[in-house]
Amino acid sequence: MLEAAGNRKVSDVHLRIGELTFISEEQLRFAIRLLSVGTAAEGCDVRIDPVSPEFECVSCGHISTADFSSPAFACGKCGADVRVLRGKEFSVDKVVLYD
């Protein structure tokens, strides 16, 4: 990715992180700051889009949400098990370079 950028510097990086992952935003920012020293990404702005969890009931199909601090992994309507639709993402969505 950085090779394709030639010798232009990275202005910002957009990440998407699901709230059901165990990736700590604070620690990730710290790691990027340390690892990017001396690279095209040094000093870049790291934008993080958190993705809140969304579940689908395996029995009745009801879609529900929950937050990380008080998650419920059962269907709010019928009580059956759910499968995770959103909340486990960890992706680099966009890299913006200086012209």
Partner 1 sequence: MLFHLAADVGVDLFSRNRELALENRALLDAHSVRGVEFMGGIGSGKTALIEALSKDRRCAAICGDVSGDDDAKRLRKAGVEAVSVNTGKECHLDAHLVGHALESLDLEGVGVLFVENVGNLVCPADFELGCHKRAVVVSVTEGDDMIRKHPVLFGLSDVAVVNKVDLAGVMGVDVSVLEKDYASLKSSALIRTSARTGEGLQALSGALGL
Binding site for Zn ion (CB under 5 A): 57, 59-60, 62, 75, 77-78, 80
Q: State the nearest-atom distance from the C-beta of 93 to Zn ion, in Å.
A: 24
Lookup result for tokens 């992952």: 21
Q: What track of x and - describes contact with partner 1 for positions 30 through 69 (by CB under 8 A)?
A: --------------------------------------x-
Residue among 20, 24, 5 nearest 54 (CA): 20
- Name the residues that contact partner 1, by CB under 8 A: 1, 4-5, 8, 11, 20-23, 68, 70-75, 79-81, 84, 88-99
